[in-house]
Structure 1
Amino acid sequence: MPATTTLQCLFAVLLFLDIVESNSPKDQGCGGSGVPGIPGAPGHNGLPGRDGFQGQKGSHGMKGTKGDTGQNGATGKTGPKGNLGPTGQMGIKGEKGENGKNGENNTGNSINWKQCVLNRGEGKDIGLIQECIFNKRHSSTALRVAYAAPITLYCPGSTCCGRWYITFNGAECSGPMTIEGIVYIQGTNDNPHRHRQIEGFCENIPSGAIKVAVHVGNCPGYGSSDRYSGWKSVSRIMIEEYPQSQK
Protein backbone atom coordinates (compact mmCIF):
# COMPACT_ATOMS: atom_id res chain seq x y z
CA MET A 1 0.00 0.00 0.00
CA PRO A 2 1.34 3.41 -0.77
CA ALA A 3 2.55 5.60 2.13
CA THR A 4 0.06 8.33 1.35
CA THR A 5 -2.82 5.98 1.65
CA THR A 6 -1.49 4.60 4.94
CA LEU A 7 -1.28 8.07 6.45
CA GLN A 8 -4.77 8.91 5.33
CA CYS A 9 -6.12 5.78 7.00
CA LEU A 10 -4.24 6.54 10.21
CA PHE A 11 -5.58 10.06 10.27
CA ALA A 12 -9.13 8.84 9.76
CA VAL A 13 -8.80 6.41 12.68
CA LEU A 14 -7.48 9.11 14.97
CA LEU A 15 -10.30 11.42 13.98
CA PHE A 16 -12.83 8.73 14.79
CA LEU A 17 -11.31 8.09 18.16
CA ASP A 18 -11.31 11.76 18.90
CA ILE A 19 -15.01 12.02 18.09
CA VAL A 20 -15.79 9.05 20.29
CA GLU A 21 -13.82 10.44 23.23
CA SER A 22 -15.45 13.82 22.90
CA ASN A 23 -18.91 12.27 23.26
CA SER A 24 -17.87 10.40 26.42
CA PRO A 25 -19.08 12.06 29.76
CA LYS A 26 -15.82 11.26 31.41
CA ASP A 27 -13.95 13.49 29.11
CA GLN A 28 -14.62 17.16 29.31
CA GLY A 29 -11.67 18.08 27.28
CA CYS A 30 -11.35 20.41 24.42
CA GLY A 31 -14.13 18.85 22.45
CA GLY A 32 -17.72 20.16 22.68
CA SER A 33 -20.51 18.55 24.67
CA GLY A 34 -22.40 15.78 23.01
CA VAL A 35 -26.20 15.54 22.73
CA PRO A 36 -27.79 14.04 25.92
CA GLY A 37 -29.06 10.56 25.52
CA ILE A 38 -32.72 9.46 26.05
CA PRO A 39 -33.48 8.86 29.82
CA GLY A 40 -33.89 5.24 30.73
CA ALA A 41 -37.12 3.73 32.27
CA PRO A 42 -37.38 3.92 36.14
CA GLY A 43 -36.48 0.76 38.00
CA HIS A 44 -38.94 -1.29 40.20
CA ASN A 45 -39.24 -0.60 43.98
CA GLY A 46 -37.13 -2.88 46.06
CA LEU A 47 -38.60 -5.40 48.63
CA PRO A 48 -39.25 -4.16 52.26
CA GLY A 49 -36.35 -4.79 54.53
CA ARG A 50 -36.58 -7.01 57.70
CA ASP A 51 -37.36 -5.63 61.14
CA GLY A 52 -34.32 -4.82 63.11
CA PHE A 53 -33.33 -6.71 66.30
CA GLN A 54 -34.97 -5.59 69.58
CA GLY A 55 -32.69 -3.47 71.63
CA GLN A 56 -31.60 -4.46 75.18
CA LYS A 57 -33.68 -3.31 78.21
CA GLY A 58 -32.24 -0.24 79.82
CA SER A 59 -31.23 -0.26 83.49
CA HIS A 60 -33.44 1.31 86.23
CA GLY A 61 -32.74 4.84 87.12
CA MET A 62 -31.64 5.83 90.63
CA LYS A 63 -34.32 6.26 93.34
CA GLY A 64 -35.09 9.86 94.04
CA THR A 65 -34.81 11.36 97.53
CA LYS A 66 -37.93 11.57 99.76
CA GLY A 67 -39.63 14.94 99.75
CA ASP A 68 -40.20 17.00 102.88
CA THR A 69 -43.39 16.38 104.96
CA GLY A 70 -46.09 18.95 104.32
CA GLN A 71 -47.44 21.08 107.12
CA ASN A 72 -50.90 20.46 108.66
CA GLY A 73 -53.60 22.68 107.31
CA ALA A 74 -55.24 25.26 109.51
CA THR A 75 -58.41 24.26 111.47
CA GLY A 76 -61.59 25.39 109.80
CA LYS A 77 -63.95 27.79 111.47
CA THR A 78 -66.94 26.52 113.49
CA GLY A 79 -70.17 26.61 111.52
CA PRO A 80 -73.13 28.66 112.71
CA LYS A 81 -75.54 27.09 115.23
CA GLY A 82 -78.73 25.72 113.70
CA ASN A 83 -82.16 27.00 114.54
CA LEU A 84 -84.24 25.23 117.22
CA GLY A 85 -86.93 22.90 115.95
CA PRO A 86 -90.60 23.54 116.57
CA THR A 87 -91.89 22.76 120.06
CA GLY A 88 -94.14 19.68 120.23
CA GLN A 89 -97.61 19.85 121.66
CA MET A 90 -98.26 18.53 125.18
CA GLY A 91 -100.25 15.29 125.31
CA ILE A 92 -103.71 15.05 126.80
CA LYS A 93 -103.69 14.40 130.53
CA GLY A 94 -104.94 10.93 131.42
CA GLU A 95 -107.80 10.18 133.76
CA LYS A 96 -107.08 9.50 137.40
CA GLY A 97 -106.91 5.80 138.24
CA GLU A 98 -108.86 4.04 140.94
CA ASN A 99 -107.42 3.77 144.40
CA GLY A 100 -105.70 0.46 145.11
CA LYS A 101 -106.87 -1.93 147.75
CA ASN A 102 -105.17 -1.97 151.10
CA GLY A 103 -102.38 -4.53 151.29
CA GLU A 104 -102.59 -7.47 153.62
CA ASN A 105 -100.90 -7.18 156.96
CA ASN A 106 -97.76 -9.29 156.76
CA THR A 107 -97.18 -9.61 160.50
CA GLY A 108 -96.77 -12.90 162.27
CA ASN A 109 -100.43 -12.91 163.32
CA SER A 110 -101.59 -12.76 159.65
CA ILE A 111 -99.81 -15.98 158.52
CA ASN A 112 -102.38 -18.65 157.70
CA TRP A 113 -101.19 -22.20 158.34
CA LYS A 114 -102.36 -25.48 159.89
CA GLN A 115 -100.90 -28.81 160.94
CA CYS A 116 -102.81 -32.11 161.31
CA VAL A 117 -100.91 -34.71 163.37
CA LEU A 118 -101.47 -38.47 163.06
CA ASN A 119 -100.21 -40.60 165.95
CA ARG A 120 -101.15 -43.90 164.37
CA GLY A 121 -100.26 -46.17 161.48
CA GLU A 122 -102.39 -46.84 158.42
CA GLY A 123 -102.11 -50.22 156.68
CA LYS A 124 -104.26 -49.41 153.61
CA ASP A 125 -102.74 -50.49 150.30
CA ILE A 126 -105.17 -48.27 148.33
CA GLY A 127 -107.36 -45.39 149.56
CA LEU A 128 -107.58 -42.39 151.89
CA ILE A 129 -104.97 -42.14 154.63
CA GLN A 130 -105.95 -38.87 156.33
CA GLU A 131 -107.91 -35.66 155.64
CA CYS A 132 -107.31 -32.19 157.07
CA ILE A 133 -109.74 -29.22 156.70
CA PHE A 134 -108.04 -25.89 155.93
CA ASN A 135 -109.76 -22.46 155.77
CA LYS A 136 -108.24 -20.65 152.76
CA ARG A 137 -108.62 -16.87 153.11
CA HIS A 138 -107.98 -15.66 149.56
CA SER A 139 -108.63 -17.05 146.10
CA SER A 140 -105.44 -15.39 144.72
CA THR A 141 -103.06 -17.31 147.00
CA ALA A 142 -101.40 -20.74 146.71
CA LEU A 143 -101.31 -23.61 149.21
CA ARG A 144 -98.11 -25.36 150.24
CA VAL A 145 -98.83 -28.90 151.45
CA ALA A 146 -96.35 -31.39 152.93
CA TYR A 147 -96.98 -34.96 154.10
CA ALA A 148 -94.23 -36.41 156.33
CA ALA A 149 -94.39 -40.02 157.57
CA PRO A 150 -92.59 -43.40 157.58
CA ILE A 151 -93.65 -45.10 154.32
CA THR A 152 -93.21 -48.87 153.81
CA LEU A 153 -93.49 -51.04 150.69
CA TYR A 154 -93.07 -54.84 150.62
CA CYS A 155 -93.27 -57.43 147.81
CA PRO A 156 -90.77 -60.30 148.39
CA GLY A 157 -89.18 -61.70 145.21
CA SER A 158 -91.19 -59.40 142.97
CA THR A 159 -91.30 -55.83 141.62
CA CYS A 160 -93.70 -53.32 143.16
CA CYS A 161 -94.41 -49.59 143.19
CA GLY A 162 -96.60 -47.47 145.49
CA ARG A 163 -97.81 -43.91 144.97
CA TRP A 164 -98.71 -41.38 147.73
CA TYR A 165 -100.46 -38.19 146.56
CA ILE A 166 -102.39 -35.09 147.77
CA THR A 167 -105.95 -34.05 146.81
CA PHE A 168 -107.87 -30.77 147.26
CA ASN A 169 -111.63 -31.23 147.69
CA GLY A 170 -111.25 -34.73 146.18
CA ALA A 171 -109.23 -33.71 143.10
CA GLU A 172 -105.49 -33.72 142.47
CA CYS A 173 -103.73 -30.41 141.84
CA SER A 174 -103.63 -29.09 138.28
CA GLY A 175 -101.98 -25.72 138.90
CA PRO A 176 -99.31 -26.33 137.91
CA MET A 177 -98.97 -30.12 138.52
CA THR A 178 -99.87 -32.90 140.94
CA ILE A 179 -98.19 -33.23 144.37
CA GLU A 180 -97.04 -36.84 144.69
CA GLY A 181 -94.24 -39.29 145.53
CA ILE A 182 -93.49 -42.95 144.81
CA VAL A 183 -91.58 -45.86 146.38
CA TYR A 184 -90.25 -48.58 144.06
CA ILE A 185 -88.67 -52.01 144.83
CA GLN A 186 -87.39 -54.50 142.24
CA GLY A 187 -87.00 -58.26 142.80
CA THR A 188 -85.68 -58.32 146.38
CA ASN A 189 -86.88 -59.31 149.83
CA ASP A 190 -86.19 -55.83 151.21
CA ASN A 191 -88.78 -54.27 153.50
CA PRO A 192 -87.55 -50.66 153.94
CA HIS A 193 -89.06 -48.56 156.75
CA ARG A 194 -87.95 -44.98 156.05
CA HIS A 195 -89.25 -41.54 156.92
CA ARG A 196 -90.16 -39.63 153.73
CA GLN A 197 -91.70 -36.26 152.90
CA ILE A 198 -93.89 -35.37 149.91
CA GLU A 199 -94.57 -31.66 149.35
CA GLY A 200 -95.40 -29.01 146.77
CA PHE A 201 -97.40 -25.85 145.94
CA CYS A 202 -100.84 -25.80 144.35
CA GLU A 203 -102.38 -22.67 142.79
CA ASN A 204 -105.81 -21.65 141.48
CA ILE A 205 -107.67 -22.96 144.51
CA PRO A 206 -110.77 -20.95 145.60
CA SER A 207 -111.09 -19.44 149.06
CA GLY A 208 -113.08 -21.16 151.83
CA ALA A 209 -112.93 -24.54 153.55
CA ILE A 210 -110.63 -26.89 151.60
CA LYS A 211 -110.42 -30.64 152.25
CA VAL A 212 -106.70 -31.44 151.95
CA ALA A 213 -106.18 -35.23 151.95
CA VAL A 214 -103.40 -37.81 151.59
CA HIS A 215 -104.05 -40.98 149.53
CA VAL A 216 -102.10 -44.09 148.60
CA GLY A 217 -102.50 -46.08 145.37
CA ASN A 218 -100.82 -47.93 142.50
CA CYS A 219 -98.17 -46.49 140.21
CA PRO A 220 -99.26 -46.39 136.55
CA GLY A 221 -98.56 -49.84 135.03
CA TYR A 222 -98.16 -51.64 138.38
CA GLY A 223 -100.58 -53.66 140.51
CA SER A 224 -101.24 -53.66 144.25
CA SER A 225 -98.65 -54.54 146.88
CA ASP A 226 -98.22 -54.44 150.65
CA ARG A 227 -98.02 -50.75 151.78
CA TYR A 228 -97.94 -49.11 155.18
CA SER A 229 -98.04 -45.43 156.20
CA GLY A 230 -97.02 -43.99 159.58
CA TRP A 231 -95.20 -46.99 161.06
CA LYS A 232 -94.16 -46.43 164.75
CA SER A 233 -93.85 -42.65 164.31
CA VAL A 234 -95.92 -39.46 164.27
CA SER A 235 -97.12 -38.40 160.80
CA ARG A 236 -98.05 -34.82 159.80
CA ILE A 237 -99.99 -32.96 157.15
CA MET A 238 -98.71 -29.35 157.04
CA ILE A 239 -100.61 -26.65 155.12
CA GLU A 240 -99.61 -22.98 154.54
CA GLU A 241 -101.18 -20.17 152.50
CA TYR A 242 -98.73 -18.19 150.32
CA PRO A 243 -99.03 -15.29 147.87
CA GLN A 244 -99.39 -16.81 144.39
CA SER A 245 -96.30 -16.61 142.18
CA GLN A 246 -96.18 -13.98 139.42
CA LYS A 247 -96.41 -15.55 135.93
Structure 2
Amino acid sequence: MAADGKIYRLPQMNVATFSAFDLHVDTDEGLVWDLGNYHKVYTNSGLRLSLSSDARIFTSSEECCKFTFAINNVECSTPGPIEGIVSVNVYINLHRPILIEGICEEIPAGDVNLSVHVGKCKDQLSVGDCFFGWESSIHAMASEVYAEREIISF
Protein backbone atom coordinates (compact mmCIF):
# COMPACT_ATOMS: atom_id res chain seq x y z
CA MET A 1 0.00 0.00 0.00
CA ALA A 2 1.33 3.45 -0.90
CA ALA A 3 1.67 6.33 1.52
CA ASP A 4 -1.58 7.83 0.21
CA GLY A 5 -3.46 4.67 1.24
CA LYS A 6 -4.02 3.45 -2.30
CA ILE A 7 -2.79 0.23 -3.89
CA TYR A 8 -1.00 0.63 -7.20
CA ARG A 9 -0.23 -2.13 -9.67
CA LEU A 10 3.02 -1.92 -11.60
CA PRO A 11 2.39 -2.47 -15.31
CA GLN A 12 4.39 -5.46 -16.57
CA MET A 13 5.43 -6.20 -20.11
CA ASN A 14 7.93 -8.23 -22.06
CA VAL A 15 7.71 -11.25 -19.76
CA ALA A 16 10.20 -14.10 -20.19
CA THR A 17 10.31 -17.33 -18.18
CA PHE A 18 13.25 -19.65 -17.65
CA SER A 19 13.21 -23.21 -16.29
CA ALA A 20 15.81 -25.84 -15.50
CA PHE A 21 15.37 -29.43 -14.43
CA ASP A 22 18.03 -31.66 -12.88
CA LEU A 23 20.33 -28.70 -12.35
CA HIS A 24 22.63 -29.79 -9.50
CA VAL A 25 25.28 -27.12 -8.90
CA ASP A 26 27.77 -27.80 -6.11
CA THR A 27 29.82 -24.60 -6.09
CA ASP A 28 30.56 -22.10 -3.36
CA GLU A 29 31.47 -19.05 -5.43
CA GLY A 30 30.65 -17.96 -8.97
CA LEU A 31 28.06 -18.80 -11.59
CA VAL A 32 25.33 -21.29 -10.69
CA TRP A 33 22.86 -20.73 -13.53
CA ASP A 34 23.17 -18.84 -16.82
CA LEU A 35 19.60 -18.03 -17.78
CA GLY A 36 20.65 -16.65 -21.16
CA ASN A 37 19.82 -13.45 -22.97
CA TYR A 38 16.82 -11.22 -22.39
CA HIS A 39 15.90 -8.36 -24.72
CA LYS A 40 15.01 -5.29 -22.67
CA VAL A 41 12.83 -3.04 -24.84
CA TYR A 42 12.58 0.19 -22.84
CA THR A 43 15.31 2.36 -21.35
CA ASN A 44 13.10 3.91 -18.66
CA SER A 45 11.75 0.64 -17.24
CA GLY A 46 12.94 -1.47 -14.33
CA LEU A 47 13.80 -5.13 -14.71
CA ARG A 48 11.79 -7.29 -12.31
CA LEU A 49 13.52 -10.59 -11.59
CA SER A 50 12.27 -13.56 -9.61
CA LEU A 51 13.71 -17.00 -8.86
CA SER A 52 12.30 -20.10 -7.19
CA SER A 53 14.72 -22.91 -6.35
CA ASP A 54 16.19 -25.20 -3.76
CA ALA A 55 19.35 -24.01 -2.00
CA ARG A 56 21.57 -25.61 0.59
CA ILE A 57 24.37 -24.86 2.96
CA PHE A 58 26.43 -27.55 4.68
CA THR A 59 28.70 -26.27 7.39
CA SER A 60 30.00 -26.86 10.87
CA SER A 61 30.45 -23.19 11.73
CA GLU A 62 28.68 -19.88 11.27
CA GLU A 63 28.78 -19.40 7.51
CA CYS A 64 26.35 -18.47 4.79
CA CYS A 65 25.74 -18.60 1.05
CA LYS A 66 24.45 -15.56 -0.83
CA PHE A 67 22.57 -16.28 -4.07
CA THR A 68 22.16 -13.19 -6.27
CA PHE A 69 20.96 -12.12 -9.70
CA ALA A 70 23.51 -10.64 -12.10
CA ILE A 71 22.96 -8.69 -15.27
CA ASN A 72 25.85 -9.02 -17.73
CA ASN A 73 27.77 -10.71 -14.87
CA VAL A 74 27.40 -7.68 -12.59
CA GLU A 75 25.27 -7.79 -9.45
CA CYS A 76 22.32 -5.40 -9.54
CA SER A 77 23.15 -2.25 -7.60
CA THR A 78 20.21 0.10 -8.16
CA PRO A 79 18.39 0.28 -5.85
CA GLY A 80 20.37 -2.66 -4.37
CA PRO A 81 21.24 -6.34 -4.82
CA ILE A 82 18.52 -8.89 -5.54
CA GLU A 83 19.67 -11.69 -3.25
CA GLY A 84 18.72 -14.57 -1.04
CA ILE A 85 20.75 -15.72 1.97
CA VAL A 86 21.04 -19.25 3.36
CA SER A 87 22.78 -19.32 6.74
CA VAL A 88 23.23 -21.73 9.65
CA ASN A 89 25.57 -21.95 12.61
CA VAL A 90 25.37 -25.66 13.45
CA TYR A 91 26.71 -28.81 11.79
CA ILE A 92 23.86 -29.58 9.42
CA ASN A 93 23.10 -30.35 5.76
CA LEU A 94 20.07 -28.13 5.30
CA HIS A 95 18.16 -27.89 2.00
CA ARG A 96 15.39 -25.32 1.80
CA PRO A 97 13.26 -23.57 -0.79
CA ILE A 98 14.46 -20.12 -1.74
CA LEU A 99 12.57 -17.29 -3.42
CA ILE A 100 14.47 -14.25 -4.64
CA GLU A 101 12.65 -11.30 -6.15
CA GLY A 102 13.30 -7.63 -6.82
CA ILE A 103 13.54 -4.82 -9.33
CA CYS A 104 16.80 -3.69 -10.87
CA GLU A 105 16.85 -0.21 -12.35
CA GLU A 106 19.09 1.79 -14.67
CA ILE A 107 19.54 -1.10 -17.12
CA PRO A 108 19.71 0.24 -20.69
CA ALA A 109 17.52 -1.15 -23.47
CA GLY A 110 18.97 -3.99 -25.53
CA ASP A 111 20.15 -7.55 -25.01
CA VAL A 112 21.32 -8.37 -21.49
CA ASN A 113 22.57 -11.65 -20.05
CA LEU A 114 20.81 -12.84 -16.89
CA SER A 115 22.48 -15.19 -14.43
CA VAL A 116 22.45 -16.37 -10.83
CA HIS A 117 25.64 -16.39 -8.78
CA VAL A 118 26.66 -17.57 -5.32
CA GLY A 119 29.26 -16.14 -2.99
CA LYS A 120 30.04 -15.06 0.52
CA CYS A 121 27.75 -12.86 2.52
CA LYS A 122 28.57 -9.37 3.68
CA ASP A 123 31.00 -9.34 6.61
CA GLN A 124 31.74 -13.08 6.29
CA LEU A 125 35.33 -14.29 6.05
CA SER A 126 34.40 -17.42 4.12
CA VAL A 127 31.48 -18.94 2.29
CA GLY A 128 29.77 -22.16 3.36
CA ASP A 129 29.48 -25.35 1.32
CA CYS A 130 26.72 -24.16 -1.03
CA PHE A 131 24.47 -26.19 -3.33
CA PHE A 132 21.84 -25.00 -5.80
CA GLY A 133 18.96 -26.93 -7.36
CA TRP A 134 19.12 -30.31 -5.63
CA GLU A 135 16.26 -32.62 -6.69
CA SER A 136 14.03 -29.74 -7.75
CA SER A 137 12.92 -27.79 -10.77
CA ILE A 138 14.08 -24.20 -10.91
CA HIS A 139 12.08 -21.35 -12.34
CA ALA A 140 12.91 -17.71 -13.02
CA MET A 141 11.05 -14.83 -14.57
CA ALA A 142 12.11 -11.49 -16.02
CA SER A 143 9.79 -8.66 -16.98
CA GLU A 144 9.93 -4.94 -17.52
CA VAL A 145 8.00 -2.74 -15.09
CA TYR A 146 7.42 0.97 -14.73
CA ALA A 147 7.91 2.00 -11.16
CA GLU A 148 7.53 5.68 -10.37
CA ARG A 149 8.08 5.66 -6.66
CA GLU A 150 10.26 6.88 -3.87
CA ILE A 151 12.92 4.48 -2.61
CA ILE A 152 12.73 4.25 1.18
CA SER A 153 15.87 2.98 2.94
CA PHE A 154 15.85 1.79 6.52
In structure 1, distance between residues paired with 2:134 and 2:84:
17
Q: Which amino acid aligns with 1:190?
A: I
Length-normalised TM-score, structure 2? 0.82
Counterpart of 2:85 (choices 182, 191, 195) is: 182
Q: CA deviation at 1:134?
A: 0.7
In structure 2, distance between residues paired with 1:226 and 1:139:
39
Distance 1:208 1:192, change over 3 A: same
Q: CA deviation at 1:127?
A: 0.8
Q: Which has the larger radius of gyration?
A: 1
In structure 1, distance between residues paired with 2:111 and 2:147:
18
Percent of residue pairs bearing the same amino acid type: 30
- 1:51 paired residue number: none
Secondary structure in structure 2 of the residue aligned to 1:122: coil
- RMSD value over aligned CA atoms? 1.7
Q: Which amino acid aligns with 2:39?
A: N
Contact 2:48–2:102 (Cα < 8 Å) also in 1: yes
Counterpart of 2:103 (choices 179, 201, 205) is: 201
More strand by proportion, 1 or 2? 2
- 1:12 paired residue number: none
In structure 2, distance between residues paired with 1:159 and 1:242:
38
| Higher RCO structure, 1 or 2 (CA under 8 Å, sep 6+) | 2
Deviations 1:85-126 (A, max 9, x none): xxxxxxxxxxxxxxxxxxxxx8xxx93111111112111111
Q: CA deviation at 1:224?
A: 2.9
Contact 1:161–1:222 (Cα < 8 Å) also in 2: no
Secondary structure in structure 2 of the residue aligned to 1:232: coil
In structure 2, runs of 5+ residues without a counterpart are 1-10
In structure 2, distance between residues paired with 1:139 and 1:128:
27
Q: CA deviation at 1:162?
A: 0.9
Count of aligned pairs between the two proteins? 137
Q: CA deviation at 1:140?
A: 0.6
Counterpart of 2:40 (choices 131, 136, 157) is: 136
In structure 1, runs of 5+ residues without a counterpart are 1-105
Q: Which amino acid aligns with 2:16?
A: K
Length-normalised TM-score, structure 1? 0.52
Contact 1:136–1:210 (Cα < 8 Å) also in 2: yes
In structure 2, distance between residues paired with 1:212 and 1:135:
10
Contact 1:140–1:244 (Cα < 8 Å) also in 2: no
In structure 1, distance between residues paired with 2:131 and 2:104:
26
Secondary structure in structure 2 of the residue aligned to 1:191: strand
Distance 1:222 1:182, change over 3 A: farther
More helix by proportion, 1 or 2? 1
- 2:74 paired residue number: 171
Deviations 1:65-102 (A, max 9, x none): xxxxxxxxxxxxxxxxxxxxxxxxxxxxxxxxxxxxxx
